[in-house]
Structure 1
Amino acid sequence: MGQHGKAGIRNSNKAPNLQRFSHHLLVCAFATPVFTTIIIWATSVHAADITTIAAARTAYNIPAGPLESALNRYGREAGILLSYPTELTAGRHSQGLTGTHSVQEALPLLLAGTGLAATAQPGGGWTLVKQNESNKTLEEVTVSADWLGSPTPKAAKKHPGARTVITNQELTESGARTVEDVLRTVPGVRVLDESGTGILPNIGVRGLNPLRSEQVLVLVDGIPITLAPYGQTGLSLFPLTMNSIETVDVAKGGVAVHYGPNNVGGVINFVTKRIPQKTSLTFKETLSFAPNSQLLTDSYLRVGGFVNDKLGLQIQANVINGNSARAHSKTAVNNLMLDANWFVTDTAEIRAGLQYYKTENELPGALTPQSYERNRNQSTRPLDQFNGDTVRGHLIYNQYFDNGAELSWTNFGHKSNREFIFGNSTNADIASTQKQSAPRNFLVYGSEPRFTFNIDGGIKQKISVGARYMREEVDYLVDARTLATGAYTVSRNWRFENDAYAIYMSDTFMLLDNKLKITPGIRREQIDLYYRNHLTGAQTRNPTTDWLPGLDVGYQANNEVFLFANIHKSMRPVQFTQITFAADLASEKAQNYEAGIRWAPTKNIDTTLTAFRFDFDNKLEFVNQMVGFRNLGKARHQGVETEFAWRPEQILGLELKTGYTYVDTKQLSGAFFGKELPLAAHHQFNQRINYRTGSWNWNLNGLYQSESFSDGANTVTENATGSIGKISSYSVWNAQITHNLRWSNKKIKAGLAINNLFNRDYYFRGVDYSQGRLPAPGRTALLSLQIDI
């Protein structure tokens, strides 16, 4: 399915009334990130002629399938203008159209069961609207083969769990260049940037430890981005640049059955830019200026479109070069993405993508408290570097059936390498005597078919059945070279393999005229980890099997109130490195509970209140070098989230959004029983103020994060290296002014942003080898220019 709504004109015998006016018609298409129309200027067509066209009868044979595909074909054959927002047709299906009909007869038949209606426009043409906009009935909630459905704010309002969708317009207007900038306005989400330039984000949700993003499932277009989604859940390579992203979909509840392991914190799906219907070119340049004259450039090029009615192609290229404000921060990123979309038939499509990503970076690393106070922009770790590259591909086949059933078959794989290079001193002020490296090589591929169908008996049902196989192969090396003598040693040379099998099923019962939807489901994961130590010959296997049940409930009480609740069992698989002690280990498990209400008392106010709880059981903890890892840990996370959005009628163009998250955590076993979990701040406030007037947009967004502990012992006093101790609270604000203009038929968007507007000094604790205070970026000015042709 193409991204944008369109309708065509075809001069054929099926549209004789248009032929005599064809020399008067000028077709002009324009597109924005959220709306696309085809406008027909009829210079000589009078009202009587339009009435004649609408009443003309034409023979059709349009099969059932995706609504957008059916509308595209109908527009061409009928020779009429249809306009609609892109998000309106996403996830909806048409029962098709056969026989001879006028426009007035055909459109209701084509739209039957979709929850949409067509309204005639005074100057000619038709516009699609929701039925509740014309007859005040409740909008139908669609359930597509993908459990989350369309990545739109309107779809998020009907999801039976906490969910936030960040639109392309919000991404553009907020000056968001990195993942940290993008997710700053999402309640309950915390991002720590390890590199200072955005290439290594660490993401945590609702008090879960953000280091390496190990407890949240990160996807790109529904496909896991993690190097080894089962055996090594940490995101030690993040092969994504934000210029290639259209929307970001954050679902924190009700996802475990459909999306697999490592989702106690939910799912974050980065949706890449779709192929536009009309061939277009986009160029964007962003310059980031630090106060000490350091410069980081971010160059982006996109070319794509449909070469005919069946085939769309697109290429995206993103190059990042330069330095942050800190010393030893040289960064180079090259990201190339190729996409294809082929409509094989009116009811079948193939989507394919290929990506090459390469990054080479100096890492400024953490500082001791003393060095931080002297100069937070210095680096005392001259050996630290990070390099990585990956080739990733996917092939997706979608088949739509006359009865509304869908078959989706996703195939994906990647071959990746990543390497950290670092000194052997954990005290950043003491020179290292060795240069160590930790290269990893990954080969991962998987296949996931999914079939969704309806049962229209006494109780309407939507059943989804799926399966997945994934293969992971990892070569794991740790070596060191003594700087004084050049002596070379290898301390680890390991091989890991994994075969993972999953099956899942859910059944959505639609009751009370579709106002109440109850979805029980279950998932079975079977994981077989294998380990071999090439240095000693030791090897072991660790097979585990887990059943993960879930239940989701959504109730549309009336047009203003939506209630939801869900309970899921989630799991994080045993990790590769945890089986090196030859122990029989089980996956970490958590019981997730969530309940909430969305209330829109007026068209200008949206509110959400959500309560959540995670009960961890079977957590893996390191005992000692003799014992290794054991399933000992129990822990609890609980809290509430609120969101409030207001668009005051008195000030058109103004939108205010605020969010608040309260998290309470407790360790329920082990030596630190009763203490808080690390990096689990109690309070988080998110703010976004946006004002649009004419071609100008003014945006201010901010985050407040309360203090937190950096270790399980809840140590308050910071030690000499800065590796433990309480982390202070902080607040940070970003601001951007955006101006849209046209020049020589080109759309131009210019932006000026100031990130960390008040130049706040804040830090978090170092990651892995780099122990100490890791400074967050200071005040930075961003100048951006985008040209669309």
Structure 2
Amino acid sequence: MSKREAKKPLNRHPLAVAISLIPMSFVAIGAAPAMAQDPANNSTLLPGLTVTADWLGAPTKESEKTYTGARTVVEKDQLQNSGALNLEDALRPVAGITVLDETGTGILPNIGVRGLNPLRSERLQLLVDGYPIAIGPYSNVGVSLFPVTLPSLEVVDIVRGGASVHYGPNNVGGVVNMVTKPIPAETSQTLRERITIAEETGNVFTDTYYRVGGRATDNLDLQLQANVQRGDGFRDHSDTQVDNLILDARYYLNDQHELASQLQYYRVEADLPGALSPEAYKEDRTQSQRPYDGYEADMTRATFTWTYTPSDNVEFQWRNFVHDADRTFFFGQNFSNGGHWADPADESTLVADSPRLFTVYSTEPRLAIKHGRHDITVGARFVSEDVEFDVNRLTLATNERNVARDWHLDTRAMAFYLSDTVSFLDDRLTVTPGIRYEDVAMDFRDNLNDQTEENNAEEWLPGLTVGLQASDDLFVFANSQRSLVPVQIAQTTREGEVANETAWNHELGARLQVTPDLLSSATLFRIDYEDQIQFNRANSRYENLGETRHQGIELSNRFYLNNAVELGLGYTLLDTEQLSGDNEGNELPNAPRHKVSADAVYNYQAWDARVNWVYVSSSYSDADNTEQETDNGSAGKLPHYHLVNARVGRDFAMGSGNVLNLGLAVNNLLDEDYYFRGVDVSPVGRVPQPGRSFVLEAQLDF
């Protein structure tokens, strides 16, 4: 069966046209017309702004120190030079983060925060340059299409608390803003090649990246990025092809008006190895028992921002985005044996495809005003989603094809938000009360059965953040905010009691410059969840777990031993509990109690060496807290694991300011054997995590 038989694709250009709304220095949101140049990376930087419409501020290590919530800024060198296989692997050491690697190629990330469900990263507000990338920001928050590749990123800003008023909905676990590479002030180019070789199978995955950008005219900056990935992950049946093209443009009308835009085309086609039965896993964890599983998607995105800065105390932004997305999973099924339809030990009798077509548009004006001791931010956002959601089945024995599902969903959402940062004690104390109002209307239609449903959500989401610079070396913060996750399209159409999810997120923390060379931080957190929804893979139903609680502490330390050596150590203690329902008193799934991370960085002249270690304790894979693994691997305790990555690299001067960097990395140096339970179209069995692999890298900046 041709993969495109499922649904005719939308008419799209085979290549990507693109224009980046905001370079890193613009933090994807606020901008000022006056700029400076950073000689270290030839990129455009902003001077200090008196006011900006971007609540988070610049994604730098310095701004991280005084943010009124738990925040981690992962900079370019950490992303590119850590020996990570992909973006989710690069984020694994961050406090509170849980990563379940489904493919090893980064096309379908599973990232969780503080014990919230990591599957399809559905408990995070994922942004690129400040814009949401979920194919349905309200109706389909799970990231079943991830139009991001690691080489195109400059920095990743991870905010685990204190941002829900300004960035809603679906931010119970926080906000992750992935900032693409900035347009350089002077014309420059980058050519990068990366080859990953899996030790167990010899599979090869190549990653080719090219960037060119600079000033086209006195008023216009342009940049093109192209990323092509080809090859296989570490398992059988994992052939992957990715194309990601981005065109950035920024136009300065005058000192007060700036226009910025991004156009992107992203395409992926991949075979999915899926989960293994426990017996097959023990026999050979690199094999695949899901020969019909596959994935195909493409997305065309466009963003446009007008920034008007009449004075240092006023900034107005009008932000707009639209995307047209088409994604399809292909998967084998067997309903004839009395067991689970996705049991990997059973041969498939049917092949299903589940195409989803999304057309999404959003417009959002924001105004930031500084008046005396007040920094006021006010904004509104409208989002429109049009979704086609089908499932088709092909009977292998007869080659008969039928339509199993034909759904349509229209979503209209309006949000209004207001916050006021009030400064006291010579600006050492800031108090920010804020409130967000969400009004979401979803109209669902089942075309096969001629049924309609409606789901409406109206919620007031208040928040309060406090920050105190208690001394030159000590910053203390506290925040409390409420968040909303509307009922999802997949939830409303299955049996089981589901509801709009709301949660309170609380934090109390401090950052202390213990010595000039040692920075330490500690954050106490608690999430009080109402009506938390989880998917039960054993019976293919969504379950309302009712009230749940997530609490714990995150500790981190950064020590600069000297100019050449840098050390890091972090620890996360997580305590989760289901507070109501049949599983009252149980822990939440995929919520390891302990996580320890450590890293060492050594720089000497042109050499750079890094070692990263992460330990994650065992956890349960289901709400029932099943200890003994079931025969088909659908439930059972997940093993603890240690993961070590190492990389060494060297810069070579090529003349005329050109630099060539060569690197060698080993991912999963100890060849740790660990797994998690199935996900999405292969929900039953063990999903092996990547074994040891070798990464060869070369990057030329010229």
Picking from 598, 605, 619, the partner of 1:694 is: 605
Who is 2:261 aligned against? 352
Q: Note if 1:467 corresponds to 2:375.
A: no
Retained in 1: the 8 A contact 2:51–2:315? Answer: no
Q: Note if 1:166 corresponds to 2:74.
A: yes
SS in 1 for 2:253: strand
Cα distance in structure 2, aligned partners of 1:507 and 1:86: 36
Cα distance in structure 1, aligned partners of 2:508 and 2:328: 42
Retained in 2: the 8 A contact 1:4–1:276? Answer: no
Picking from 421, 439, 442, the partner of 2:358 is: 442
**Matches of residues 447-458 of structure 1 in structure 2 within 5 Å?**
447-456=363-372
Retained in 1: the 8 A contact 2:24–2:179? Answer: no
SS in 2 for 1:69: coil
Which protein shows a greater Rg?
A: 1
Cα distance in structure 2, aligned partners of 1:390 and 1:91: 35
Picking from 426, 442, 445, the partner of 1:532 is: 445
Cα separation, partners in 2 of 1:285 and 1:622, compared to 1, 3 Å: closer
How far 1:317 moved relative to its partner?
0.4
Cα separation, partners in 2 of 1:302 and 1:668, compared to 1, 3 Å: same
Q: Note if 1:69 corresponds to 2:69.
A: no
**Matches of residues 179-578 of structure 1 in structure 2 within 5 Å?**
179-291=87-199, 292-425=201-334, 426-456=342-372, 460-578=373-491
Who is 1:28 aligned against? none
Q: Note if 1:668 corresponds to 2:579.
A: yes
Retained in 2: the 8 A contact 1:497–1:531? Answer: yes
**Which residue identity does 1:210 align to in structure 2?**
P
Who is 1:25 aligned against? none
How far 1:737 moved relative to its partner?
0.4
How far 1:182 moved relative to its partner?
1.4
Q: Which runs of 5+ in 1 are unaligned?
A: 6-32, 35-64, 73-81, 94-141
Cα distance in structure 1, aligned partners of 2:353 and 2:186: 48
Retained in 2: the 8 A contact 1:219–1:269? Answer: yes
**Which residue identity does 2:444 align to in structure 1?**
Y
SS in 1 for 2:443: strand
Retained in 2: the 8 A contact 1:91–1:144? Answer: no
Cα distance in structure 2, aligned partners of 1:767 and 1:579: 19
Who is 1:736 aligned against? 647
Cα distance in structure 1, aligned partners of 2:74 and 2:536: 42
Cα distance in structure 2, aligned partners of 1:560 and 1:87: 30
**Which residue identity does 1:335 align to in structure 2?**
N
SS in 1 for 2:279: helix
SS in 2 for 1:676: coil
**Which residue identity does 2:417 align to in structure 1?**
Y
Size of the aligned set, in residue pairs, is 669
Picking from 616, 627, 633, the partner of 1:722 is: 633
Retained in 2: the 8 A contact 1:143–1:149? Answer: no
How far 1:70 moved relative to its partner?
6.2
CA-based RMSD of the aligned residues comes to 2.5
How far 1:489 moved relative to its partner?
1.8
**Which residue identity does 1:765 align to in structure 2?**
R
Cα separation, partners in 2 of 1:696 and 1:658, compared to 1, 3 Å: same
SS in 1 for 2:274: coil
Higher relative contact order (CA 8 A, sep 6+): 2
**Matches of residues 649-688 of structure 1 in structure 2 within 5 Å?**
649=562, 652-688=563-599
SS in 2 for 1:386: strand
Who is 1:92 aligned against? 48
SS in 2 for 1:401: strand
Who is 2:4 aligned against? none
Cα separation, partners in 2 of 1:66 and 1:591, compared to 1, 3 Å: closer
Cα separation, partners in 2 of 1:371 and 1:646, compared to 1, 3 Å: same
**Matches of residues 62-141 of structure 1 in structure 2 within 5 Å?**
69=34, 90=46, 92-93=48-49
Q: Note if 1:760 corresponds to 2:672.
A: yes
Cα separation, partners in 2 of 1:622 and 1:646, compared to 1, 3 Å: closer
**Which residue identity does 2:367 align to in structure 1?**
F
Retained in 2: the 8 A contact 1:544–1:586? Answer: no
Moved more, 575-584 or 541-550: 575-584
Retained in 2: the 8 A contact 1:2–1:276? Answer: no
SS in 1 for 2:491: helix
**Which residue identity does 2:91 align to in structure 1?**
L
Retained in 2: the 8 A contact 1:542–1:585? Answer: no
How far 1:531 moved relative to its partner?
0.4
SS in 2 for 1:287: strand
How far 1:90 moved relative to its partner?
3.4
Cα separation, partners in 2 of 1:484 and 1:599, compared to 1, 3 Å: same
**Which residue identity does 2:345 align to in structure 1?**
D
Picking from 175, 191, 198, the partner of 2:83 is: 175
Cα distance in structure 2, aligned partners of 1:685 and 1:290: 26
SS in 2 for 1:182: helix
Cα distance in structure 2, aligned partners of 1:193 and 1:581: 27
Cα distance in structure 2, aligned partners of 1:177 and 1:309: 39
Picking from 705, 708, 712, the partner of 2:619 is: 708
Retained in 1: the 8 A contact 2:207–2:230? Answer: yes
Cα distance in structure 2, aligned partners of 1:484 and 1:66: 60
How far 1:143 moved relative to its partner?
5.5
Between the two proteins, what is the percent identity of the paired residues? Answer: 44
Cα separation, partners in 2 of 1:436 and 1:511, compared to 1, 3 Å: same
Who is 1:598 aligned against? 511
**Which residue identity does 1:452 align to in structure 2?**
A
How far 1:196 moved relative to its partner?
2.5
Cα separation, partners in 2 of 1:389 and 1:84, compared to 1, 3 Å: closer
How far 1:198 moved relative to its partner?
1.6
Retained in 2: the 8 A contact 1:389–1:417? Answer: yes
How far 1:168 moved relative to its partner?
1.0
Q: Any idea what the Cα deviations from partners look like across 1:290-314, whole Å, max 9, x if unmatched?
A: 1232111000000110112311001
Cα distance in structure 1, aligned partners of 2:40 and 2:659: 21
Who is 2:686 aligned against? 773
How far 1:721 moved relative to its partner?
1.1
Retained in 2: the 8 A contact 1:2–1:277? Answer: no
**Which residue identity does 1:69 align to in structure 2?**
A
SS in 1 for 2:426: coil
Cα distance in structure 1, aligned partners of 2:236 and 2:497: 45
**Which residue identity does 1:305 align to in structure 2?**
G
Who is 1:113 aligned against? none
Q: Any idea what the Cα deviations from partners look like across 1:691-741, whole Å, max 9, x if unmatched?
A: 101000010012111000000000000011111000010011100001011
Cα separation, partners in 2 of 1:631 and 1:207, compared to 1, 3 Å: closer
Q: Which runs of 5+ in 2 are unaligned?
A: 1-20, 335-341
Retained in 1: the 8 A contact 2:33–2:258? Answer: no
Retained in 2: the 8 A contact 1:705–1:729? Answer: yes
How far 1:183 moved relative to its partner?
0.2
